[in-house]
């Protein structure tokens, strides 16, 4: 049995304010909006995070993400697109979703705070480590 709340929305087992759908993708209002008009874009098939989602599914989803950003842009001054993966990153619903968040001048939301590298050496080491992992990931996912 699939206990996923977003699968239940896809299957109309629980209600949602559906604003767009096609064969592959569903868009509905987030029930607790950061700002009014906050949308969630999801694939109709269940994938937990972006990490294991097939590329063809992501292609379908990201094109609808752009379309919905164009929609939200018409009702706001700017648009944030957010996507959380795993609990540590704030993912509470384990069905891939993109947040499309309307933003307005002086809407009171703060951006992510930036940290600093302690030294240039630390920054360069981080870049080297990441470049190594990029190669590893490319080898694992040719
Ligand atoms: P996450 O933290 O996983 O990135 O975001 C999950 C989002 O789903 C939250 O913004 C939350 O408000 C929204 N959400 C959770 N349950 C429901 C629901 O039953 N219906 C709708 N429309 N949104 C939901
Ligand atoms: Zn699901």
Looking at residues 126-138, what average pLDDT do you find?
97
Instruction: Tell me what pLDDT residue 1 has.
Output: 45
DSSP E strands in the chain: the ranges are: 18-21, 25-29, 39-43, 78-82, 98-103
**In contact, 109 and 137? CB cutoff 8 Å:** no
Q: Is the pLDDT of residue 96 over 80?
A: yes
Distance of alpha carbon 88 from alpha carbon 66, whole angstroms: 26
Q: Is 15 in the pocket of ligand 1 (CB under 6 A)?
A: no
| CA distance linking residue 37 with residue 97, whole number of Å | 16
Residue to mutate (ligand 1; options 26, 31, 91; most atoms within 8 A of CB): 31
Residue 97 among the catalytic residues: yes
Ligand sitting nearest the alpha carbon of 81: 1
Ligand nearest to the CA of 17: 1
Q: What is the pTM of this model?
A: 0.96
- Coil/strand/helix, residue 130: helix
Cβ 92 under 6 angstroms from ligand 1: yes
Q: What count of residues does the chain have? A: 142
Q: Which tokens belong to 52?
A: 């294991």
**Region 5-112: CATH code:** 3.30.428.10
Atom of ligand 1 minimally distant from the CA of 16: 22
Judge contact between 61 and 41, C-beta under 8 A. Answer: yes
Alpha-carbon span 129 to 123, nearest angstrom: 10
Mean pLDDT along residues 93-112:
95
Q: Is the pLDDT of residue 141 over 90?
A: no
């Amino acid at each position: 049995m699939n206990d996923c709340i977003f699968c239940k929305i896809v299957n109309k087992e629980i209600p949602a304010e559906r604003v767009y759908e096609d064969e592959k993708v569903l868009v509905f209002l987030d029930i607790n909006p950061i700002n009014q008009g906050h949308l969630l874009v999801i694939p109709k098939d269940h994938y937990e995070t972006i990490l294991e989602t097939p590329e063809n599914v992501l292609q379908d989803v990201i094109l609808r993400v752009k379309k919905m950003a164009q929609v939200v842009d018409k009702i706001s001054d700017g648009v944030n697109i957010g996507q959380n993966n795993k609990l540590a990153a704030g993912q509470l619903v384990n069905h891939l979703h993109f947040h499309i968040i309307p933003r307005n001048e002086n809407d009171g939301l703060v951006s992510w705070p930036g940290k600093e590298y302690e030294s240039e050496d630390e920054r360069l080491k981080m870049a080297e480590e990441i470049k190594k992992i990029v190669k590893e990931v490319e080898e694992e996912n040719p």
